[in-house]
A and B are shown apart, each in its own frame.
Chain A
Amino acid sequence: MAAQYPSQLSHSRRDFIKSVGCLTIAFVLGSGADVLAGESVVADELPESLAKNPRINAWLEVLANGRVRVLTGKTEIGQGIRTAVAQIAAEELNMSMERVEVVLAETGRTPDERYTSGSASIETSGMSIRYAAAAARQQLLGLAARQLRVKASQLRLADGMIRTTDGKRQLSFTQLLKGKQLQGEVKLPVQLKAKSEYQHVGKPVRRDDIERMVRAEPVYVQDLRFPGMVHARVLRPTSYWGKLAKLDTAEMQRQIPGLLKTVVDGSFVGFIAEKECQAKGAQDYGIQHAQWTNGPALPTKQALPELLTTLPAITKRAVNKGDMSSFDATTAGSAPTDASLSARYFKPYLMHASVGPSCAVALFDQEDSLHIWTHSQGVYPLRNTLAALLKMPPERIHVKAVPGSGCYGHNGADDVAADAALLARAYPGRHVRLQWSRDDEHAWEPYGSAMLMQLDARLDSEGSITHWQNNIWSDTHSTRPGGKPESLLAARLLAQPALPTPATEVSSAIYRNGEPLYAIPNQRLDTHYVQGPLRVSALRGLGAFGNVFALESFMDELALQAKQDPWEFRLRHLTDKRAKAVIQRTREMIKNEKLAPGEGFGLGFAQYKNQAAYCAVVAKVHVAEEMGTIRALHLWAAIDAGETINPDGLKNQTEGGMIQASSWTLKEEVLFNEQHITSRQWETYPIFRFDEVPAVTVSIIDRPTEKPLGAGEAAQGPTAAALANAVFQACGKRIRSLPIRPEKLVQIKES
């Protein structure tokens, strides 16, 4: 947990103190040793990543040239983490950002922070670096005080130098440390710089990697080139559970110029060639000539929403509040009365659909060590998973994160790295670069789970919700490998296949945001975990996307029933001030907007995970039933992510989140037939193109004295509901099944 101003303890902190009763907070009176003009802050609890890895030099190194190197266990996935952690470190050390360099996740080099996921990079890594930098500052001042024989309070630290307050004497970090690194651990209490003194944090600092991108510098794993590097492609079964029957590798060797090796292990097939185009040639040849047997068929007899409710399920009651007995007695089986409402919502399988298909480089070197360059979100878990897959000690595997095309969760990144590792092991001594094809990515990535949400509620005579029941049917939302090789795609294809054993417990990711933040006295949430037919894993927002779509659509339906304005209806059911503030802000944002015929506004709100950023979204849509079009015209978001580290980064994430979620909501659905996935490229899995993208406006409610809250996924669910609600306002038709496509309008009667 981040530090708070002593005088302005946050709501949650006060609650915390109340609940534990005896927590001691070490206040430092006055401004302490490093003479920061503002009120400095004392941290009383280490961030999680730091508690696991408290050595200062695990997070921060002082270089001989006076620069500082920051080490984060997180990776850059387009969220701008590199810039954000540099801002944080530069801030605590009073230095310019040019003097800070950042090392991203790499095994053996950076701290193990598991996955870059859950919008938690700032909350965990960023805060660890803040504390480590603050501890470094304390230590540097202490060292200087001893060396210069003055009191620490007579010293100032800025831009890699420590000077006496009279300006007469100074020492550089380099002179102080004499080639050594900072020693010791970050210990409580840590004195943090006063927020009123901030120079970098809270400012829209530019990301420096964007210039490198426009200059076409080698930024991505796809751009890595090593001497002697060879190129690879894989060949996949023609059906989802197909097995290789025949591939004439000798004939291929004769036919394909530049082909160095064909690797076949069961139904895992890869080609290694001198040049990339030759590897692609081998893949094309394989697609035409390899013979496969079909595995078990995919279920197509039932519509997916129906299928989800008929599969065997493990059920968990995740919420049980108040007293639902009167609700059960009157509602079950009976027709909805005036005061009660039921609705069923559906979210299909969705694809991460990265623009650049997954890619990895692997080298099996002379010392039998494996090196992997990957855009995986977790280098340490990938290392452990590969160790188990390849039956080699983890110490012999080195994994380095390199940015790739945006992933939005667990896409093919880990799978392609495992494929590359298998190929490199079969072809040691040279770097093997494996590029998945578009078809490989679309047809085989682990999708975001399909979900069905059944909501039932009752209103009292005042139009307040008294009872609320939510039933969610869904597959799991994360199968990140985390050391388990059977979750890798290659594992199910190998001659000795390993299949994932389905979880026996219901993951909370399924019912993420399934419980509304609204004050409803009697509530029940039942989660029915089923195993769906397709490979699934974490997609931005996990269960929250479907759940918020459902419950915020339902809130509008209830508001209508209660004859109340959707904004007012939500506000009167909320007690959390910050939640109310984002909703109210959106109303201000659109107050001068007018609606033309066929247009409508809709609102959606959630606090992501009910504990991260607060976000309200308003959509303006245009529906032309006769033309068969639904267009998102403009989306407005108000977001409160606590202390904002980089407002432009937060805006960028929120704008992008709204645009991406609009595409999910209005267009996307992974389709399959008995054999296989049929959404295999951009024409069969269309996403937003430039002509469809709405205008987006983001307003930040900055709360510098609160802890920073994960924000990268906050807009997804609210956007979906805002669009559904806006379509309803525009044409009076309620679409409860995603995607909200115009052809569905004809099937629905106006309500």
Chain B
Amino acid sequence: MEAEFTLHVNGQARTVRVDPATPLLYVLRDDLGLNGPKFGCGLQQCGSCMVLLDTIAWPSCQLPVANVQNAAITTLEGLTRPDGSLHPVQQAFVDEQAAQCGYCLNGMVMSAVALLTVHPKPDDQTIRNALFRVLCRCGVHSRALAAIKKAADSMKS
């Protein structure tokens, strides 16, 4: 029952042949060779697999590929500018050294990017709410909060 789907990923049209029920996460990692979205639970509980659908951050682990053909999909890779420079949120996570193992970084960064498009200057509570879905076991939350505030500042200026 495989079929062809054309997805818009990081500004490019990509055609894949997969079962329509295949969750987007597997297509991104397995068929398109991307590393940003990670497998964490497959249950929409941890945020490891977060991508942007247009401007909204959404877990990709239960999203059937057939449902996302009309969306502009952005992964962590797609945030980096063509000249190789980092998106301000990526840069802020580096500057604040907001990682230990870093497995959760994808979820944090993607959620933060989505947040900043609607709330250019979020307060602590707004950031915490926006990142609610993202689990971090190493406990870098406080650094992530600082990084997101820093990114917000740098994007305004």
Contact = CB atoms under 8 A, between A and B. Distances in A.
B139 to A, nearest CB: 3
B102 A209 contact: yes
B41 A681 contact: yes
Contact of A206 (B23, B34, B97, B129): B97
B94 A355 contact: no
Nearest to B91: A214
A78 B42 contact: no
B105 A214 contact: yes
B22 interface: yes
Nearest to B127: A690
Interface string A211-223: 1011111111011
A355 B135 contact: yes
A77 B101 CA distance: 6
Given A217-B35, A356-B103, A277 B75 contact: no
Contacts of A354: 103, 137
Interface string A651-695: 011011111100100000000000000000111000111110101
Which one of A209, A257, A277, A693 has the greatest number of beta carbons of chain B within 10 Å?
A277
A744 interface: no
B94 A220 contact: no
Given A211-B94, A213-B99, A683-B45, A655 B30 contact: no
For chain B, what secondary structure do more than half of its interface residues adopt (helix, strand, loop), or is it mixed?
loop
Given A660-B137, A683-B45, A276 B100 contact: no
A360 to B, nearest CB: 14
B94 A656 contact: no
A657 B43 contact: no
Interface residues of A, number: 61
A99 interface: no
Which one of B19, B35, B42, B132 has the greatest number of beta carbons of chain A within 10 Å?
B35
B58 interface: no
A406 B132 contact: no
A543 B6 CA distance: 54
Nearest to A208: B94
Contact of B99 (A210, A215, A404): A210
Contacts, number: 166
A365 interface: no
Interface in B66-101: 75-77, 80, 86, 90, 93-94, 97-101
B121 interface: no
Which one of A210, A217, A648 has the greatest number of beta carbons of chain B within 10 Å?
A210
A215 B87 CA distance: 10
B131 interface: yes
A396 interface: no
Contact of B140 (A214, A408, A655): A655
A231 B22 CA distance: 15
A121 interface: no
Interface in B9-26: 18-19, 22-23, 26
B36 to A, nearest CB: 4
Interface residues of B, number: 57
Given A215-B86, A690-B131, A406 B35 contact: no
A207 B22 CA distance: 36
Interface string B40-59: 11110110100000000000
A277 B18 CA distance: 10
B135 A222 contact: no
A147 to B, nearest CB: 42
Interface in A425-450: 435, 437-438
B149 interface: no
Interface of B: 2, 18-19, 22-23, 26, 29-31, 33-36, 38-43, 45-46, 48, 75-77, 80, 86, 90, 93-94, 97-106, 109, 127-129, 131-143
29 contacts: A78-B102, A79-B100, A207-B97, A210-B97, A214-B76, A214-B94, A215-B86, A219-B35, A222-B38, A275-B31, A277-B22, A277-B23, A352-B137, A354-B103, A355-B40, A356-B103, A357-B40, A404-B101, A406-B137, A438-B43, A653-B100, A663-B139, A681-B43, A682-B46, A689-B133, A690-B128, A690-B131, A690-B141, A693-B141
Given A276-B29, A277-B23, A355-B136, 12 more contacts: A78-B99, A78-B102, A210-B94, A211-B86, A213-B102, A214-B109, A220-B103, A355-B101, A356-B48, A406-B138, A682-B46, A690-B127
The 3 A-B residue pairs with the shortest CB-CB distance in the complex, in nearest-first order: A659-B139, A78-B101, A656-B139
